[in-house]
Amino acid sequence: MSDFFERVTQISSRSKVAERQALTEEATKTSVILPFLQALGFDVFNLDEVIPEFIADVGTKKGEKVDFAVKIDGKIAMLIEAKPVNAKLGDVQFNQLFRYFSVTEARLAILTNGREAWFFSDTDEPNKMDKRPFFKFDFQNFDKDQVEELARFQKPNFAIEAIVEAASNLKYTRAAANYLRKQLEDPDDDFIRLIGRQIHEGSITKNVSEQLRPAVQAALDEVIRDRIQDKLGVAFSGEKRAAAEPEAAPVAETAANTDDIVTTEDEIAGHLIVRAIAARHVPVDRISIRDAKSYCAILMDDNNRKPICRLYFNSNTTRHVGIFDADKSEARHKVTGPQDLYQFTDELETVIKAYL
């Protein structure tokens, strides 16, 4: 897996270069898409594995081409349509993929611009490509779990039934997550009635539904907050155990420990809370902590030029948190402790997304 991760990292570097220099679809194919297929284990110079400009006549339409067809064991396994790296995949038309999907053996189709790759299958209707991708991979912003998902498409691992089953699971998981996210933000009447039938005796009339709505919303917030607190408690316990059993530090670091900077438990807790808030948008290991004498900084990518917030927790009487905006202007707010960071979830998410 580490070897595959390294290959994907190399594709990521190519994608970033292509975004600056590749001006055409052909340049994108050469610089990113063909190396991507190679990273998956396919021989791009072997026409028995990768067929460029693949032709499959559809009805009265003759001579139309899809950019690549990938064969495994002599059968068409994947169709790939390429777009220029500066094209937004959500805006492009990919009609060839839809048409060719139904007249070939392929059950997998990839739309890519060298910046992202969108994966489609036929989980809704057999032999008909789904309108929505079941998996999206961003070559320039990914984590270990996403690379593990991408590894399913390597030639040595390729098992179409397992891929389609995973695609179906991902589709339903994504749909359920989207539904629950919508209910968290603004629960609809059906959701209120569903909960209401479990907690209210009698009919759920419109008036009853409106009376229950704020209670349901508050309960959802409480459940999410408790789940986060539970996870933070586990992580925080791990931090304290690690602190209680320090490894022997190299002699060269001894001098650095003589300064007066001590990262407190509240600062560690604040860091973990910001990580929890950021987890909806970025891998949590991108949220770093860097302590100083007067404040504790929470940064994106451990980069001073990407400040998220500062924790002013050193005073025994008055505490503040400084929240940065997209222009890196800091606004200070009085708080009682790290738990108050949840009050600034929207502001924290805004600055985090600004650095993506």
Asked whether residue 130 falls in the same domain as residue 208, the answer is: no
d(Cα 139, Cα 118) in Å, to the nearest integer? 11
Q: How many domains does the chain have?
A: 3
Inside any domain, residue 300: yes
Q: Are the CB atoms for 109 and 120 separated by under 8 Å? A: yes
Q: What is the pLDDT of residue 95?
A: 76
Phi, psi dihedral angles at 337 (to 5 degrees) = 180, -175
Helix, strand or coil for residue 274?
helix
Asked whether residue 165 falls in the same domain as residue 281, the answer is: no
Q: Are the CB atoms for 291 and 263 separated by under 8 Å? A: yes
**Bridge partners, residue 52, by sequence:** 68
DSSP conformation class of 352: H
Asked whether residue 234 falls in the same domain as residue 317, the answer is: no
Q: What is the pLDDT of residue 33?
A: 94
* pTM higher than the cut 0.75: no
Q: Are the CB atoms for 326 and 337 separated by under 8 Å? A: no
Structural domain of 203: 197-242
Q: What is the pLDDT of residue 250?
A: 42
For the chain (356 residues), the mean pLDDT of every run of 10, in chain order, is 87 92 90 94 94 75 80 90 89 78 85 92 83 89 88 86 77 79 84 87 84 81 70 54 47 43 85 88 88 90 91 86 90 89 90 90
d(Cα 60, Cα 47) in Å, to the nearest integer? 27
Asked whether residue 81 falls in the same domain as residue 37, the answer is: yes
Inside any domain, residue 73: yes
Q: Are the CB atoms for 296 and 267 separated by under 8 Å? A: yes
Specify the pairing of strand 296-300 against strand 135-138. unpaired
Inside any domain, residue 236: yes
Inside any domain, residue 250: no
DSSP conformation class of 30: I
Contacts of 33 (CB under 8 A, 6+ apart): 67, 68, 80, 82, 112, 114
